[in-house]
Amino acid sequence: MWKFLLMTLTVVALSDSARAGFNCQVPERSPTRPTSVHQLRPEDVDVVGAIGDSLTAGNGALAKTPLGLLTEYRGRSWSIGGDKDVSSVVTLPNILREFNPNIKGFSTQIGKADSSDAHLNRAVPGAFSADMAKQAKDLVQRMKDSKEINFEEDWKVVTMLIGFKDLCDFCNDKKLFSAENYRDNIQKALDILHKELPRTFVNVVTVMDMVPLFSELNKGTICQMLHRYFCKCVTSANNDVQTEIQDINHKYQEVTNELVNSGRYDTRDDFTVVVQPFMQELLPTQWFQ
């Protein structure tokens, strides 16, 4: 159920013109909350949260000009946005709200991480994997401090997507942005969530292949200028360097899968981490077919 839900969400949300109806049958919420994550159903989820970079912050989601890319449309973020409803804005929280209208934590409107409408969207544009532990701590503390959240009893879904900035700076410091360091950074964040959060389902989304993204969509003067600004390592690299970046990109995906599937986070019945792999083989050209 969960992998299908996230895969469907991403395919639809990546299309700017997509509009979806909601045709799933919504069962009644259980009279008692499940105690095992293996019995968790969408209607049991009470809280959503997210950590990451500009993709989670919603940068440029409704932008009409290059300047609009600086605006954080957090209410439209695919994993944590809650603007409108699922009939017009397809996001994970809006899907879950069809099952539980009282879900909490989703972000709305526009604004930075410290804005009042950001709620449990703790993503920061330009973040590196090394920033995930700090964001995880912030997320946990905000859940603990919230008067709307029953910290011990409420079921939580937390989504993490990170790695784009690491890859875009790889050529500047190959040791700092190695796959081993990337793995250690996301492990530190997941360790915090595992230690601190009861009743939690964590989605770790593997970072997509960056080279096709910046090569196949690098058309037009404006796009080329923006790509050089945001990811010079990829867009200005020769074929050999691009191949090296693509190799490390795939290594990021590999170590993410290895970490999550190692069993490190399967020590409690009320907590799990799941890899959401739908971006691993996603090609930019598929978005516009």
All domains of the chain, ordered by start, with CATH? 40-207+257-278 (3.40.50)
What is the number of H-type helices and E-type strands within the chain? 10, 4
Residue 38, C-beta contacts closer than 8 angstroms, at least 6 positions apart: 269, 272
d(CA 101, CA 108) in angstroms, rounded, equals 15
* 161 burial level (CB within 10 Å; 0-12, 13-18, 19+): buried
d(CA 209, CA 212) in angstroms, rounded, equals 7
Considering the entire predicted model, what is its pTM? Answer: 0.89
What does each of the 289 residues of the chain score in pLDDT, given as a tens digit? Answer: 343 344 334 434 443 334 455 677 787 787 889 999 999 999 999 999 999 999 999 999 999 888 888 999 999 999 999 999 999 999 999 999 999 999 999 999 999 999 999 999 999 999 999 999 999 999 999 999 999 999 999 999 999 999 999 999 999 999 999 999 999 999 999 999 999 999 999 999 999 988 777 666 566 666 666 666 678 888 877 888 889 999 999 999 999 999 999 999 999 999 999 999 988 877 766 655 5
Mind giving me the DSSP string for 53-85? SHHHHTBTTT-SSGGGGGSB-GGG-TTTB-SS-
Partner residues linked to 269 by β-bridges: none
3-state secondary structure 150-209: CCCCCEEEEEEECCHHHHHCHHHCCCCCCHHHHHHHHHHHHHHHHHHCCCEEEEEECCCC
The H-or-E segment that residue 247 falls in is helix 239-260
